[in-house]
Structure 1
Amino acid sequence: MLKGYTLPRTPRGTSSLAPKPPWHYVGNALAVEYEVNAIAAAAFLPEGLELASSRCAAYFIEWQYSSENDEEYLDPVRSQYHETIILLSAQFEGAPVSYCPFIWVDQDVSLMRGLIQGWPKQMGSTWITRAYDLPSKANPVVGPGGKFGATLSVKDRRLIEAQVTLCELTDSLPSPNFARAVNVRYFPELVAGKHGKAAVNELVQLKSRDIMVSPIWKGEAKMEIFDHPYIELPDLRPTAVIAGYRFSFALTVDDLIHLRDLCSYDLG
């Protein structure tokens, strides 16, 4: 009998790209709140969601991961990855949620876990300024005046540049955030004559537990999104940048909420 949570399924089941949940995460995040053109943002929302406001957030995160039974962080190449996430402010049946139109990672394991949850993950290269526990000209202070940068490149093209200068502690996370994030789990058909029909097309909601957040630093920010020959992220360019943030957080994922099935056909 073949075993494993994801492909490839093998006799012992240890070759699966992603192990079965729970999945435990901890990360350092740099985030930028900004405004976009509301008409452009609304065009990215799937059936069942409505735009709540023109507020968006970009998250640049350096993650470390572990499964329940293994200590993957002792083999860092299995455990560590970088991610850039774009979130839109939305509503589902009148309740505030967030929606992710774009997300990039640099590890195949993360990509697989994300697709299972409905995150529309693609491969990309994210870099983030690090902070260390020693004073140095090479080390930004995690406090007033500390400066941090982040970049995203996709298919060898620079797509985003962001910089944050910390000013003060705050009790508020960036908005929108991951709480009540809604995704679309989508898998297309390949059978001839059914290419317009999805094998899986459903609206789902993130369900995390054991969430912890460090002190949250807030400050000034600037961010630029560059043109790309086919990726449509430039449609969500900032019309105004509101604020920047730096914080750490941890969470566990082992569940998902099914909200509704979507249309069987996607004529796009």
Structure 2
Amino acid sequence: MRWRGVGSRGSRRRRATCTRPGCSRRPARRRRRCRPGARFGASVSSDERTLAEARVTLEAPMEDPSALLSRDTINLRHFPTLEVGRYDKPAVHELVRMDYADQQVADVWTGTSEITLFPAVGEELADLAPVRSGMGFRASMSYNVTQVEPLL
């Protein structure tokens, strides 16, 4: 399906329509996603049970996002053992700190945040529920991992 502009030659406003025979649909209008009051959310589930939900309600663009680049990032590296009978003994299971290069952030917005961790059988995540949540943010980010340092 191709879209083409329709209108008079001198007109600045153009309306797009589908070029398929018999199709009169117009493409959806692109809306700016980041604006005051916009909400973004995410959830984590395991075995059809919701373990966590998080939401950010945007308020304003962040003037200086350099504070986001100065934080350490800690990850859990986990590679399960696929051998029958040894599933509970992963090949790799360690906390690591990542070193980065060429970090870039763009379109950073801040706002209020909410996070809820739900109890689930066999999961300890709910025990880590935060007492309060601070500022939330939404951003586009890119980086190259240069080194992974295991934490003892």
Larger radius of gyration: 2
C-alpha change, 1:150 and 1:210, in structure 2 (3 Å) is: same
Q: Are 2:65 and 2:105, in contact at CA under 8 Å, matched by a contact in 1? A: no
Residues of 2 paired with 1:206 and 1:228: CA distance? 30
Distance (whole Å) between structure 1 residues aligned to residue 99 and residue 47 of structure 2: 31
Q: Note the residue ranges of structure 1 that are not aligned, 5 or more in a row.
A: 1-131, 190-197, 263-268
CA distance in 1, matches of 2:148, 2:29: 40
Question: 2:110 is aligned with what amino acid?
Answer: K
Equivalent AA in structure 2 for residue 134 of structure 1: R
Counterparts of 1:1-268 in structure 2, within 5 Å, are: 134-135=30-31, 141-170=33-62, 171-172=64-65, 179-183=71-75, 204-253=96-145, 255-258=146-149, 262=152
Following the alignment from structure 1 to structure 2, what is the Cα–Cα distance between the partners of residues 201 and 157? 24
3-state SS of 1:230 partner: coil
Contact conserved, 1:205 with 1:257, CA < 8 A, in 2? Answer: yes
Q: Is the 8 A contact 1:173 1:216 kept in 2?
A: no
> What secondary structure, in the 3-state scheme, does the structure 2 residue paired with 1:145 have?
coil
Q: Partners of 2:119 and 2:30 in 1: how far apart?
A: 38
More helix by share: 1
Assess if the C-alpha contact under 8 Å between 1:174 and 1:245 holds in 2.
Answer: no
The count of corresponding residues between Structure 1 and Structure 2 is 117
Contact 1:204–1:256, Cα closer than 8 Å, also in 2: no
Cα distance change, pair 148–227 in 1 and its aligned pair in 2 (3 A):
same
Q: SS where residue 248 of structure 1 aligns?
A: strand
Distance 2:96 2:115 in 1: 30
